[in-house]
Chains A and B, each alone.
Chain A
Amino acid sequence: MSTSPPVPHAKPFSLPTGPWVGFIAVLVLFTALIAIKGELGTFLSLGNLRVLLHEGTVPAIVALGMLLVLISGGIDLSVGATVALVTVVTMRVYTAMYAASGPSPTNSLVAVAAGVSIGGVCGLANGLLVTKLQLPPFVATLGMLGVSRGVATWLAGRTVLPFKDGGTPEWVNTVASSQTEFTNPGLWSLVLLAILTAVLLRLTVFGRHLYAVGSNEATARLCGVNVTRTKLLVYTLAGLLTGWAGVIMFAHSNSGNPTLGEQLELDVITAVVIGGASLSGGKGTVVGAMLGVLILILIKNGVSLFNVPVEMQYILIGALLIANVSLNRWRQGKVS
């Protein structure tokens, strides 16, 4: 792969098998464990499926952005802090407008737009640090993590910002409720964004450039790919996706909260890597990333529901990550 010319993934339409193996392994493991306890009816129920989809929405949207960044050979450690910043900004804008003009749909629209834009601004800042200052993405986004978290805490006045009593707009309640998950706009926005991301990766020139830059940046540049522009764009896109995830988090948490999203970046990177993306770039698919998130959520859900000690979830996720990547390595070794 690394010596070949910068074409997209060799077989872009093939499904990644690693994440499927992981997903089925986790599902079978939990089903078996829970069946022994005689509670399969709780785990494999429509109610729990709704909850799983609901809990997965935010990390899945962030994972789409992370996938783009990882394919380009970068990494984004700032997403968790950005999500927190977005919730705080959205709440600040909403309450300010609510105080000025009372309840009106424009408040929500402006607040959501502000939230998504602040996500985009954070992403753009990441992109500028990586391209203009030539910082390694790890360092640039680690710095942005601190900046975003700090600004979020400062903007929130070191506290959690709630809605004024009874001032919660209806859409927030709709998005926050998992009881009607199959018509939840948050979930459908994820479906739409996932399709768009897949189309972007597979059918557009930008998508091809992304794989090219991630596989071999020097070669891509020699072939005439505008590496700087591609990277700027990818970090900004990831930022906008994170911004949208932040808006959904804002609804789910019913607040602007600067402590939200701690370790979200690690969860999401884990999910995307389990889904077959590589930290060295040039690899990864939307289906894989979504499966990775599903595996993670499934583990958290199973551990929480069945009184398994909560520390088990970290051990399981860690072990699964290592097993999955080793499996991929081994398989590649057999091919070459």
Chain B
Amino acid sequence: MPRPLYFLLAATLPFVFGCGGPSNEQFTIVVIPKGLTHEHWQSVHRGALRCAADLEAEDGTRVRIMFDGPLRERDAMEQIRIVDRRVATGASGIVLAPQHSQTMTACVKRAADAGVPVVIIDSGIDDPNHFVKYVATNNYNGGCLAAHHLIGELKKQGKDKPKLILFRYAVGSQATEDRERGFEKTVNDICPGVVWLSTDKYAGATRDSAMREAGPMILQYGKDVDGIFAPNESSASGTADVLRSQGLNKKVVLMGFDASKPLLQSIQEGDIIGSILQDPYRMGYLSTWYCVQHLRGVNVNKSRTDMSESTGEYLVTEKNLNAVSTLRLYDPATQATRTTDELRYGPNGKPKP
């Protein structure tokens, strides 16, 4: 036997027998976002950390937050790998924003079977039986809100029969599909004269891919189109870039969803008429809270009759861009001033009966 083989054997011994000591934390909660690049997930992370800090301040419960996601938002395999890896290496609970409502079901079931509770955030999952709680924006409502604002603005410009583009995000992403449905339905209800120029283009996962798709689309419809709805941050930013580059910004009314610094800047400058903001900070907080409560034995879903909780959706325009009610959604300093009761129990700040 060659000598290197002995080294290898020696090196693998600890693998085989393990040598785990007790860790000094009570719970390790792994927060797994869809990707790492959107600011949305940074807020989720801060919310989870805040929850851990609150819990420790209250009664000394030590909760360790691990933030681990795929670098790229469409790296579906990596997200599955991360869930399995974390289940195998001793996570107490998992907070997961699934990239796909159907393909992620198998690994959520595997986690549940291994006794690791999963709280789903941000975007839904098709298998209702293996997660503990679903904490997300009511995306359908968000789409409705966007429709009301966009149609309202167009009516102010005297356009009663506007020509619209619905620039979709991706097939299988439940959150954005809900927004698109809410938007389409509300527009058809409140504005029967609407003309849909395009509803079958997909922006894809990044600002780059959105620009690639939006470029030809705007070239084709740029002269006619009155308003565009882009259902997430990257698609809205990408579309704004394309409108600017073709000199159509401020002429075409663009409604977005979610926020990032460039997107808010565009709202300030009037290139984007408004956006629907979620409350990712509270999403991160509440999901971690439910995960810990579940681990402590609290019945957080009323024996599976109360599975989902909405964290609210908020219209942001040029007018309320710098209001505290907006800043608390994304600005780290303002987020830190939010009260524990509000984060746990909503704007009323009281536990539900």
Contacts and interface: CB of A to CB of B under 8 A. Distances in A.
Contacts of A311: 71
Contacts of B87: 179
Contacts of A249: 77
A24 B2 CA distance: 15
Interface residues of B, number: 48
Interface in B117-138: 126-127
Interface string B76-99: 110011101101111000000000
B16 A46 contact: yes
Tell me which of B36, B66, B84, B202 has the highest count of chain A C-beta atoms within 10 A of its own C-beta: B84
Nearest to A306: B66
Given A51-B89, A162-B103, A24 B84 contact: no
A178 B84 contact: yes
Nearest to B84: A178
Nearest to B172: A160
Interface in A47-62: 47-51, 54-55
Interface in A121-180: 157-160, 162-163, 165, 168, 172-173, 176-179
Contact of A305 (B4, B89, B110): B89
B15 A49 contact: yes
B217 to A, nearest CB: 15
Contact of B84 (A31, A54, A172): A54
A301 interface: yes
Interface residues of A, number: 54
B100 to A, nearest CB: 6
Interface in A291-336: 301, 304-305, 307, 310-311
Contact of B106 (A48, A55, A254): A254
A116 to B, nearest CB: 19
B19 to A, nearest CB: 6
Nearest to A165: B126
Interface string A28-64: 1001000000111111111111110011000000000
For the complex of A and B, 5 pairs with smallest distance between CB atoms:
A41-B20, A162-B102, A159-B171, A47-B88, A255-B103
Interface of A: 15, 17, 20, 23-24, 27-28, 31, 38-51, 54-55, 157-160, 162-163, 165, 168, 172-173, 176-179, 249, 252-255, 257, 259-262, 301, 304-305, 307, 310-311
30 contacts: A20-B8, A28-B11, A40-B14, A41-B18, A42-B89, A43-B89, A44-B14, A44-B15, A45-B89, A46-B15, A46-B16, A47-B89, A49-B15, A50-B88, A51-B84, A55-B81, A55-B85, A157-B171, A160-B102, A162-B103, A165-B126, A165-B127, A178-B88, A179-B113, A249-B77, A254-B103, A255-B102, A260-B76, A301-B85, A304-B85
